[in-house]
Structure 1
Amino acid sequence: KVNEKMRMAPMAKRLAELLKQPVNTVGDCIGADVDASVAKLNAGDVLMLENTRFYAEEEKNVTEFAQKLAKNAKVFVNDAFGTAHRAHASTEGVTKFVDHKVAGFLLQKEIAFLKGAVDAPKRPFAAIVGGAKVSTKIPVIESLIEKCDKIFIGGGMIFTFYRAMGLNVGKSLVEEDFIPMAKQLMEKAAAKGVKFILPTDVVVASEFKADAQSKNVSVNDIPADWLGLDIGSASLENFKAELKGCKTVVWNGPMGVFEFEQFAKGTFGVAHALADITDAGGITIIGGGDSVAAVAAAKLDKRMSHISTGGGASLEMLEGKVLPGVAALDDA
């Protein structure tokens, strides 16, 4: 189904600016119009095809559609790390019908950093996992427990862990169904000798608003009608102290609601700690999603070793999964 807002014309315009040459466009990605446009190309000319997602066959990875996509190609370069965890026609299916299928420079860099962090990290190796829900991060936390020396937990998910510890969390976000799993993760980390670090204090708010009343309290003293929206000041200092000296740090997910200024201190504080680690020669990897936005908001993106362009793809790679879009390429 065609979505006018998702057409490739703006991308073609920007690519032309970057290449300093015209970029031709065509209103489809398969079929007679594409064949005709390709036939007109001279050596060095560039043609941008239309968005493959306008066809349902793209996400279903239909073989016939992939074959049509590949019809005019001899070499396939995949540089879309953000979709490499999906086996779609344009990421995986098309590779079966071209002579050469290779990684682009960005994909190569993503694999080098993320796979390197998982397979052979410089130690001590720490992971910082944040975000609102523990349910979305369980597989990556489980995997990191097998590989890390220290795991730091922040964001809304901490309250599910506190509930697993028998604490009252007021009106903070809790995933009731995942309380037993949170308990298991803590036990698993302890059994492996992995330091599992939760905040000892939090910033709580009277309501979920940028200008809400707020105060810093111990995790043992969260008021019944308040909700936690950031890690506390003592916890931030403890996180910084525990991170100091780490040689590899992977960060996925903010420490609090950093979009609201008064609940951004934890997230920005961690970002500054990572920037210092990079400056000291350590490897810092920002694993996609909201952490990337947070690092950019803190204006520290230039002081990180690697900022991943993929949310789901980064998580799956950190879990040690093989990404279909990568597995389909030729071995280097």
Structure 2
Amino acid sequence: MSLLKHKRSVDDLWPVRRKRVLVRIDFNLEINNGVIDKSKDQRIRAAIPTIRRITDQGGICILLSHMGRPTGHKFGVLKNDDAKRRRYLNIWKDEKGAGYTVYFSLLSGEIKKKILGWSSVATSAADLSEVQGTGKTDLFASLSNAEKKSLLKRFQNGDHSTTLFPHLRQYDGYHDELTLMPVATRLYELLNADPSRPPVDVHFAEDCMNANDMVASLLPGQVLLLENLRFYSDENSLIESERMIMAQHLAKYGDYFVSDAFGTSHRRNSATTVELPAIIGHGCCGYLLKKEIESYVDLLGDSPRPMLAIVGGAKVADKISLLEHILRKIDTLIIGGAMAYTFLKVAGYEIGNSFNESGQSFIDKYGGRRNIDELAQNFLIKAKACNVQVLLPVDHVCHTTCEATDSPLITETAHIPSGFMGLDIGPRTIELYRKCISQSKSVVWNGPMGVFEIPTYATGSFSIAKEMGDGTQEGLLSIIGGGASADAARMCGHASRVCHVSSGGAASLDLLEGKVLPGIDALDDLE
């Protein structure tokens, strides 16, 4: 198809031995007090095949990732102003306590116990195990910044001569809770989980823009994870020259470029997904990105009919472009989640206190103002003209507030009484939607049916995931488009039963809307 072509993959890189391969990865995951929940490390696990492909051939794998949305600092300023750079390196000496807890969290259990033994909470710490995840970091976090500073100084002045906070750690763009160091630890564990395979060394560079010496010292088969790219604002700067400065610097680290970060491929302003492959002179996709491309080529190309799209989430304004675009490709559209209440209200139903956008307007991508009610009404007319059946909820699970309850109101019709809000689709709607899935040959799902994070309102989303999983075993082409719907499928254990769960919510939406993704377009086409 014209908008999404097959791309060269990591399999096309040769020779790789002794070559340094820059791999743009997506390790943007949840970390609490320096600890990664092992049930939520899918993004690290998903990167393993591409990393192993490189290291098994004797290549040197250099990983680049972002995490969160830190303020960041301009690399050009730090690079060209030695006095300012030195001043940032000394910020840790003030009373703000930047970096104290994250530094402590990355120490071994034995050392943590030793440090806490010097503290005002020594009695509480005495009963804690040296095993990771037993509460030592939480206890340290409860201390005052002054005591944290004193304890770490005592630790540093003992047998540890390394600088406590090197390089970027104390530039004003650094956020201790967004360091990727815990990811390096978990990556090492996963890469070395199989004792029958040769061990893999994983190193960590505490400043992604000051890693020249570490890169030069790497040996074939080793891995280096660079610190959070977004600690430098140049990574997503709106100014091309700033992005180019960062990309040109990072390009010196590698010989080849591989992208395995579908979740950031929709971002046009990204030094490491757009400018970096252009500077290196080529780019190919890793196994995760390859699977994303192939899955969407299958879905958006000549997919089996009838084809069903299930769209949920909160706002019509966020997904109207998607809805309008996919009308040409589908036979049936299921609408759930909060956006369903806007369509129901426009259709004349009572929706109580449910979230809705009726009466509102928004500015579209062309700069024009669009009225939500008119938009929803016109969409239903377009769908009918395209012979697309649109299914809306026929009953609801409700409550007076968005909180858990043992006795939610289940409506008998699509109307929601005054004082209540819809928080999930009801049992008759679930059966209607399940039947529609069972009669389809292709299904794409983007957006949950309700507030699935609260068990009371999770049945709708979980039922959709199960029905898609069941259908896949019978030959259904099934794709879950990342984001919250992917989280729901994982929570109920059915994510592994569908054909593909996308790793990028916003990127998935853009593809379904027919957009060209800059991070994919920048890679080499497969000839």
What TM bracket, shorter-length normalisation? over 0.9
1:287 shift after superposition? 0.5
Query: For residue 227 of structure 1, what is the aligned residue in structure 2?
Result: 421
* In 2: Cα distance, 1:132 partner to 1:219 partner: 21
Query: For residue 23 of structure 1, what is the aligned residue in structure 2?
Result: 202
1:212 shift after superposition? 6.6
* In 2: Cα distance, 1:260 partner to 1:46 partner: 39
* In 1: Cα distance, 2:380 partner to 2:223 partner: 53
Confirm or deny: 8 A CA contact 2:465 2:495 kept in the other structure: no
2:219 is the alignment partner of 1:42: yes
Which residue among 449, 460, 463 is the counterpart of 1:255?
449
Confirm or deny: 8 A CA contact 1:115 1:318 kept in the other structure: no
Query: For residue 326 of structure 1, what is the aligned residue in structure 2?
Result: 520
**Offset from partner CA, 1:252-309 (integer Å, 9 cap, x none):** 1111122222222211221121111101111111101111111112111221111111
2:497 is the alignment partner of 1:303: yes
Confirm or deny: 8 A CA contact 1:128 1:153 kept in the other structure: yes
1:119 shift after superposition? 2.2
Deviates more, 1:192-201 or 1:17-26: 17-26
| 1:92 match: secondary structure | helix
Query: For residue 265 of structure 1, what is the aligned residue in structure 2?
Result: 459
1:41 shift after superposition? 2.3
1:206 shift after superposition? 2.5
2:180 is the alignment partner of 1:5: no
2:287 is the alignment partner of 1:93: no
1:216 shift after superposition? 2.0
Kindly tell me: are residues 26 and 222 of structure 1, through their superposed partners in 2, closer, same or farther at Cα, counting changes over 3 Å? Answer: closer
| 1:77 match: secondary structure | strand
| 1:221 match: secondary structure | coil
Superposition RMSD in Å:
1.6
1:48 shift after superposition? 2.1
* In 2: Cα distance, 1:252 partner to 1:39 partner: 44
1:17 shift after superposition? 2.6
Query: For residue 310 of structure 2, what is the aligned residue in structure 1?
Result: 128
2:363 is the alignment partner of 1:171: no
* In 2: Cα distance, 1:220 partner to 1:5 partner: 45
Which residue among 374, 385, 388 is the counterpart of 1:194?
388
Confirm or deny: 8 A CA contact 2:338 2:355 kept in the other structure: yes
* In 2: Cα distance, 1:199 partner to 1:274 partner: 18
**Under a length normalisation based on structure 2, what TM-score does the superposition of the two structures give?**
0.61
Count of aligned pairs: 330
**Offset from partner CA, 1:50-99 (integer Å, 9 cap, x none):** 22111111001521211111112111110011111112001111011114
2:402 is the alignment partner of 1:208: yes
1:224 shift after superposition? 1.3
* In 2: Cα distance, 1:142 partner to 1:117 partner: 17
Percent of pairs with identical residues: 41
Q: What one-letter code is carried by the residue in structure 1 that aligns with 2:326?
A: L
Segments of structure 2 that go 5 or more residues without pairing to the other structure are: 1-172, 192-198, 361-371
Counterpart mapping for 1:66-145 below 5 A: 66-87=247-268, 88-145=270-327
1:242 shift after superposition? 1.7
Counterpart mapping for 1:177-188 below 5 A: 177=360, 178-188=372-382
* In 2: Cα distance, 1:157 partner to 1:286 partner: 18
Q: What one-letter code is carried by the residue in structure 2 that aligns with 1:26?
A: A
Kindly tell me: are residues 85 and 98 of structure 1, through their superposed partners in 2, closer, same or farther at Cα, counting changes over 3 Å? Answer: same
Deviates more, 1:210-219 or 1:136-145: 210-219
